[in-house]
Structure 1
Amino acid sequence: MNTSPSLPAEDDGTRHWTEPGIYTVAPGVYRIPLPMPNDGLRAVNVYALTDGDTLVLIDSGWAVPEARERLGEALRGIGAGLGDVSRFLITHVHRDHYTMAIALRREFGGKVALGSLEEPSLTAAANPTRRSMDTQARLLVRCGAGPLLAELAREYGDLPRQHIDLWERPDEWLEPGPRTVLPGRKLEVVHTPGHTTGHVVFADEDAGLLFAGDHVLPHITPSIGFEAVPAELPLRDFLDSLRLVRAMPDRRLLPAHGPVTASVHRRVDELLDHHDRRLVVIAETVASGANTAYAAAHLLRWTRRERELLELDVFNRTLAVLETAAHLDLLVHQGRLTATDQDGVRCYATS
């Protein structure tokens, strides 16, 4: 590692969290925001852990030239380079977390570790015959979203698969439990399904930190079950995972998208309350006559700006309809609604 770094800035909240650079979170822990082209989230946080000799990254960024350049510049701030990364610990298999690790592994040889329950989705994503958004298209049929399905096909049907060559297998499949990642630094791997089936978070008990990936985000609710091989009840899994994290000691929240905040518990409580209220509202849409996820999604408001469904772009409308379906299916599981399948469309009714 280079011995003449420029000093990183303190992560004190005085700058917008997406502003390029490298920010000190805690001794030996640095936050690096990397750009996400053509994505409303704007940036993804990568976290660098180092003892001065060894460098480990939690998540890696989206494998695009601008993000690679920003990562290299940021690492120079702690006297390191891209080739110094010995290991990538990846929270989940979405492209903004996983693909840069694979690209850098090919070039420099660092090891990549990913939650073991991500294997089915990773395998499906790597299938060259699978079309972009194929899984989501099948789910939209079940949601009764014919018009949206046609629009999605026009938007994505003929596009080349992004990063198909970067969906390589990791060097290690992570299992829950403690692991030493650097001399004197131990992390607890915690399985937190919901956002994806194999999502994991990393808890640093000694430093009082939780590297939360997309499981707990400070400003938005993460999408649920957007993956190549989705779970049967992803919202149930997500809420159970939130409760699991809530039962752990409170720690500083180090999210993948958004600023570092003081309390994981505070944000988890907000997310649980949000979904409790959302379940009530979605049940009311069925009582008012909306019998499919697509129909129910039209009666809801979306984002903090309270937008109507048709005000969203086609990708975010897809997310909205699928998340409505996840809430409806959980209500059925809880016995608060019933569901029947009619010509491939799932129809809901009050119990």
Structure 2
Amino acid sequence: MEVTGTAQHEAWRERALPPVEQLGAGLWSIPVPIPHNPLRYVSVYAFALDGGGLGLLDTGWESDDGWRTLGEGLAAIGGGVADVRGVLVTHLHFDHLGLAERVRQASGAWVAMHPADAAIVGSRVHRDPVASVRAEVAFLVSLGADPDEAAADVGRPEHFAPFSRMAVPDRLLEDGDLADLPGWTLRAVHTPGHTPGHLCFAEERTGLFFSGDHVLPRISPNVSTTHDGVPDPLGDYVASLAAVGRREVTEVLPAHEWRFRGLTERTDQLRAHHEHRLAELLAAVRAHPHSTPWQLAGLLTWSRPWDQYARRMRIFAVTETDAHLRLLAARGLVTGSGGAVPTWTVRAR
């Protein structure tokens, strides 16, 4: 792999926000900070449109600091929020969709995303913080969590209020659709896994590939089960990686970290990472049969000791473990016991 976002890479090493950069004629990256998050920022991409105005790909985390930073970034390229005509959203997470409603209110821009993520954002449960908490706690209990621990990890409904107010898109983009950004040929590429409706965008005129969170240069995105998700998100993710890895692109422009070349190499690395993880989990199931995902997560290798995991970090770890279990089950290697809280064993052959 070749690092092409050298200023981004250097800023990452210095733990600083990278600069606003012009990446080509009519194309810029604007970093918008993510508070209290090791990812630090999301790269919002701005496109100058034929006939005037701007298009955005993602918007950043909804906060006053994020809003100010986005506005300053647009001013640095000679525009402003009022110039935005349309917003493409790679997926429903708050660091990508969060500011879209403020942008729409300030500019009248349309907001577009994949129907699968749009359905989640607009769902009754998602728009109701109390229902969101209740659904997530129940889901964690079904994975083996103690109800009190699950409730403590999920947190109170007021913490969910900002997420319940995210923009419901007014346009939908399916796989293969061309985005309505005049002067650009941005083709939607459905890459489910990180979320059911995650979209990458292939710019067919330049060969640029906007990978969202699907392919990042340093880390693997979280791929987890959720109460409102799909049955086998990791299986979807691995299949999406294989399809994307066959593309010939000039440069990869991800939502986090830095730009790079070597898409095929990176997708191969990510697939190998998950195969290693699947093998480790299979060994844990073999050594500890009749365990729940909550129990099995504590037996795996993580970036820090398991007893230091709590709240959202522990939720991500357990639901990611569950996603790996479901792919092992789809491959016929493990079987669940069924019931309210399934346990897992190696499948007899």
- How high is the TM-score relative to the length of structure 2? 0.89
Mapped pair 1:177 → 2:171 = no
What letter is aligned with 2:265?
R
Q: Secondary structure at the match of 2:325?
A: helix
Unaligned runs of 5+ in 1: 1-9
- Structure 2 residue corresponding to 1:347, chosen from 337, 343, 346: 343
* Cα separation, partners in 2 of 1:337 and 1:185, compared to 1, 3 Å: same
Q: Percent identity?
A: 34
Following the alignment from structure 1 to structure 2, what is the Cα–Cα distance between the partners of residues 104 and 208? 28
| Superimposed CA distance per residue, residues 175-228 of structure 1 (whole angstroms, 9 cap, x where no aligned partner) | 122425444320110111111111111011222211111111111111114656
Q: Which residue of 2 aligns with 1:108?
A: 107
The answer to whether the 8 Å contact 1:132/1:156 transfers is no
Q: Which residue of 2 aligns with 1:137?
A: 137
Q: Secondary structure at the match of 1:86?
A: strand
Following the alignment from structure 1 to structure 2, what is the Cα–Cα distance between the partners of residues 129 and 317? 20
What letter is aligned with 1:322?
T
What letter is aligned with 1:230?
G
What letter is aligned with 2:137?
A
* Cα separation, partners in 2 of 1:110 and 1:73, compared to 1, 3 Å: same
| Superimposed CA distance per residue, residues 32-68 of structure 1 (whole angstroms, 9 cap, x where no aligned partner) | 1111113232211111111473311000011211011
| 1:1-351 equivalent positions in 2, closer than 5 A | 11-13=5-7, 15-17=10-12, 19-51=17-49, 53-124=52-123, 126-128=126-128, 130-146=130-146, 149-160=147-158, 161-164=160-163, 166-179=165-178, 181-225=180-224, 229-290=228-289, 291-303=291-303, 307-342=304-339, 344-351=340-347
CA apart distance, 1:90? 0.3
The answer to whether the 8 Å contact 1:195/1:214 transfers is yes
CA apart distance, 1:248? 1.9
* Cα separation, partners in 2 of 1:151 and 1:40, compared to 1, 3 Å: farther
Unaligned runs of 5+ in 2: none
Stretch deviating more after TM superposition (118-127 or 204-213):
118-127
Following the alignment from structure 2 to structure 1, what is the Cα–Cα distance between the partners of residues 5 and 317? 33
- How high is the TM-score relative to the length of structure 1? 0.89
Alpha-carbon RMSD: 2.1
What letter is aligned with 1:260?
R
What letter is aligned with 2:345?
A
CA apart distance, 1:128? 2.2
The answer to whether the 8 Å contact 2:188/2:202 transfers is yes
- Say how many residue pairs are matched: 336
CA apart distance, 1:21? 3.2
Looking at secondary structure, tell me which structure has more strand per residue: 1
Ranked by relative contact order (alpha carbons within 8 Å, sequence separation 6 or more), the top structure is 2
The answer to whether the 8 Å contact 2:196/2:229 transfers is yes
Q: Secondary structure at the match of 2:234?
A: helix
The answer to whether the 8 Å contact 1:178/1:188 transfers is yes
Following the alignment from structure 2 to structure 1, what is the Cα–Cα distance between the partners of residues 179 and 231? 34
